[in-house]
């Protein structure tokens, strides 16, 4: 699916990502963790084609994203990538239906209804976004991301604006769509949220320094392993 080599990404004098490689396979559920400002969002922006101009090569299947122009990257995003953000990025004065349709004009109403039903928000279809709770807004954002048979979900701190209960519900949705075959790459600062994933990548010093396979483990063992890695890197950071 993804084959990634980033030789360097810098903003002015600040080198953020350097000499890093990564692979993402179809059906992966990957969580990316790392200290604030270490480059997690930058990485997601590169693999979604939002950020260009880095040194390196990023292949999505056979497509060389680093060589594509803005129009084809936009098309690839629309057809294959569903993006989910901490602040939802919905238009407040439009309805749930209008928000989904705006980004996916080609998607049929039947599909939108099915998605809203699946996410338990069908009764909110004609409600304005401004009138919804955070958890409901994130469900709308997930419906928008899934519409049009996209199969890769890229989520940047999807639960950071939600309380514990809404966060858990959103992660249960992620777990369900992963079981259906979606590939998920998610950023979070929370070990509890990370413990829904099957693989954890810890970004440190410009690259993924630690990678742990969480497949087949219970959620409490996943959590324990994740906390160990986070603490190890925290101590490493304090020592430097």
Ligand X SMILES: Nc1ncnc2c1ncn2[C@@H]1O[C@H](COP(=O)(O)OP(=O)(O)OP(=O)(O)O)[C@@H](O)[C@H]1O
Binder to ligand X among 40, 178, 207, 222 (CB under 6 A)? 40
Task: Check binding of 36 to ligand X (CB under 6 A).
Answer: yes
Told to check if 34 binds ligand X by CB under 6 A, we report yes
In order of 76, 82, 125, the CA distances from 85 in angstroms are 18, 10, 20
Contact status, residue 158 vs residue 85, Cβ threshold 8 Å = yes
Q: Considering the complex, what minimum distance in angstroms separates the CB of residue 1 from ligand X? A: 22
Instruction: Tell me the window of 32-40, 56-64, 146-154, 162-170 that interacts with ligand X (CB under 6 A).
Output: 32-40
Question: To which H or E segment does residue 101 belong?
Answer: helix 96-103
* Distance separating the N- and C-terminal Cα atoms of the chain: 36
206 scored as a contact of ligand X (CB under 6 A):
no
Cβ 19 to ligand X shortest distance, Å: 16
Q: Are 101 and 112 in contact (CB under 8 A)?
A: yes
> What is the closest distance, in whole angstroms, from the C-beta atom of residue 15 to ligand X in the complex?
9
| CB 39, min distance to ligand X, A | 4
Among 15, 37, 67, 231, binds ligand X (CB under 6 A): 37
Binding residues among 41-80 for ligand X as defined by CB under 6 A: 41-42
Interface with ligand X, residue 38, by CB under 6 A? yes
Residue 143 and residue 121 in contact, taking contact as beta carbons nearer than 8 Å: yes
For the bound state, the minimum distance from the C-beta of residue 203 to ligand X, rounded and expressed in Å, comes to 7
CB 112 within 8 A of CB 97: yes
Rg (CA), the chain: 18
Residue 36's SS3 state is coil
Identify which range of 39-47, 142-150, 164-172, 206-214 contacts ligand X by CB under 6 A.
39-47
How many Cα atoms are found within 13 Å in the side-chain-facing hemisphere of 57?
6
SS3 55: strand
Q: Can residue 16 be called a binding residue for ligand X (CB under 6 A)?
A: yes
Size of the site for ligand X (CB under 6 A): 11
Shortest gap between Cβ of 240 and ligand X (angstroms)?
Answer: 16
Contact positions vs ligand X (CB under 6 A): 11, 14, 16, 34, 36-42
């Amino acid at each position: 699916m993804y084959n990634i080599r980033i030789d360097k990404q810098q903003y002015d004098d600040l080198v953020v990502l350097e000499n890093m490689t990564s692979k993402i396979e179809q059906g992966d559920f990957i969580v990316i963790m790392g200290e604030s400002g270490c480059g997690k969002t930058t990485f997601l922006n590169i693999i979604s084609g939002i950020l260009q101009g880095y040194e390196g090569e990023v292949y999505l299947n056979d497509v060389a994203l680093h060589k594509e122009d803005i129009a084809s990257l936009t098309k690839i995003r629309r057809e294959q990538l569903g993006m989910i953000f901490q602040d939802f990025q919905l238009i407040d004065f439009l309805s749930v239906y209008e928000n989904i349709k705006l980004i996916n004009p080609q998607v049929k109403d039947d599909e939108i209804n099915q998605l809203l039903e699946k996410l338990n928000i069908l009764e909110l279809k004609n409600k304005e976004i401004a009138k919804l709770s955070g958890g409901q807004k994130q469900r709308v954002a997930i419906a928008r991301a899934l519409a049009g048979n996209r199969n890769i979900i890229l989520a940047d701190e999807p639960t950071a604006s939600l309380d514990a209960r809404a966060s858990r519900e959103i992660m249960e949705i992620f777990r369900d769509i992963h079981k259906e075959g979606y590939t998920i790459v998610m950023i979070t600062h929370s070990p509890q949220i990370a413990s829904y994933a099957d693989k954890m990548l810890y970004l440190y010093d410009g690259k993924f320094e630690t990678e742990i396979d969480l497949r087949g483990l219970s959620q409490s063992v996943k959590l324990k392993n994740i906390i160990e890695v986070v603490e190890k890197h925290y101590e490493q950071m304090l020592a430097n």
